[in-house]
Structure 1
Amino acid sequence: MRTIHAAPLLRHTLDDEPTPGGAVLIVGNRIEAVGPLDELVAAYPQVRVRRWDGILGPALVHDGPLPPAPTPRERVHALFRLGVGAVLAAQLTDPELRAAAVRNGVAVLDSPRPPALIPTDRADLAAFADDGTCIATVVAGRLVHRRA
């Protein structure tokens, strides 16, 4: 299934200046294209478009202890509320926590990597409000968090 995610501003990496009118086309769990929303909609007119406020960009890589919560599943979902799509393996020493992360599609990394929106890469992205709060998180092409 193809989905276009769009926002008023898009950044390809966390260090990039946001550019207006960008969007990301996702097919399955991969990024198929990144470009201007109008061009993607013209090329794929039947595709569902999800529009988010704020800035759309790559999901974050979490490199510290996971937020506290009563269960491993809730600890993983706390990451999604922060816009996280990947976590360092060193933070998942508890087998139940690691299993919850993997079951929910979190990328488990051996070492940090700078997040980026790159065609053919895994579709991990997030939308953030101007104040930095996460509006939505997509992990491996699946919407896992949406602020109410």
Structure 2
Amino acid sequence: MSTTVHAAPLLRLTPDDEPVPGWAVVVTGDRIAAVGPESDLLGAYPGARVRRWAGTLGPGLRHDGPLPAAPTPRERVHALFRLGVTAVLAGYVTEPGLRAVVDRSDVAVLTAPVPVALHSGGRADLAVLADDGRCLATVLAGRLVHRRA
């Protein structure tokens, strides 16, 4: 299983937290292995791949409404990735074709809104957001599923 350190100039543990400079997230497989100061993590995981992102790194976002309109279910799910979304509410993915794509993509399907946060042992769902709120990258269960060109 590969290990990746995701680092950015700023990191938020939750979408509402003040960003912390110099922190990073270690991902092994589909889980967060550690969150903390980048220098400490690089020392603790010397063989890890390092991905450096511009912007603010934080937890993947939760989408609390209907999925964006698009011609196909696959495109609807990919529209979420372009927003930094890694979790949706079950009530909005009831169409069989859409639900199949959501399940195949490994998007988290929640029965109720729950807070999203980065923590050791949690699922490796991350989003990197620019200062203007645009999503620069989305990591879903440890896999990079979107990167702005």
Please say whether Structure 1 and Structure 2 have the same fold, judged by a TM-score greater than 0.5: yes
Quote the offset at 1:141 in angstroms.
0.5
Q: Secondary structure at the match of 1:12?
A: coil
Cross-structure match for 1:103: 104
1:3 matches 2:7: no
- Give 1:127's aligned amino acid: V
The residue identity in structure 2 corresponding to 1:32 is A
- Give, as a single letter, the amino acid of the residue that structure 2 aligns with 1:146: R
Tell me which residue corresponds to 1:123. 124
Distance across 2 between alignment mates of 1:41 and 1:127: 19
Q: Say whether 1:132 aligns with 2:126.
A: no
What do the CA deviations read for 1:43-96 (whole angstroms, capped 9, x no partner)?
111100001101000000001010011110010000000000000000001011
Matched residue, 1:44: 45
Q: Which runs of 4+ in 1 moved over 4 A?
A: none
Q: State the SS of the aligned residue for 2:79.
A: helix
For residue 41 of structure 2, give the secondary structure of its aligned residue in structure 1. helix
How does the TM-score come out when normalised to structure 2?
0.98
Structure 2: give runs of 5+ residues left out of the alignment: none
- How far 1:99 sits from its partner (Å)? 0.6
Match of 1:16 in 2: 17
Q: Do residues 143 (structure 1) and 139 (structure 2) align? A: no
User: Where does structure 1 lack aligned partners over 5 or more consecutive residues?
Assistant: none
Pairwise CA RMSD: 0.5
SS in 2 for 1:97: helix
TM-score normalized with structure 1 length: 0.99
Report how many aligned residue pairs link the two structures. 148
Q: What whole-Å deviation, never above 9, does each CA across 1:1-59 have from its counterpart, x for those lacking one? A: 10010100001011110010110000100001000111111111110000110100000
Identical counterparts, % of pairs: 68
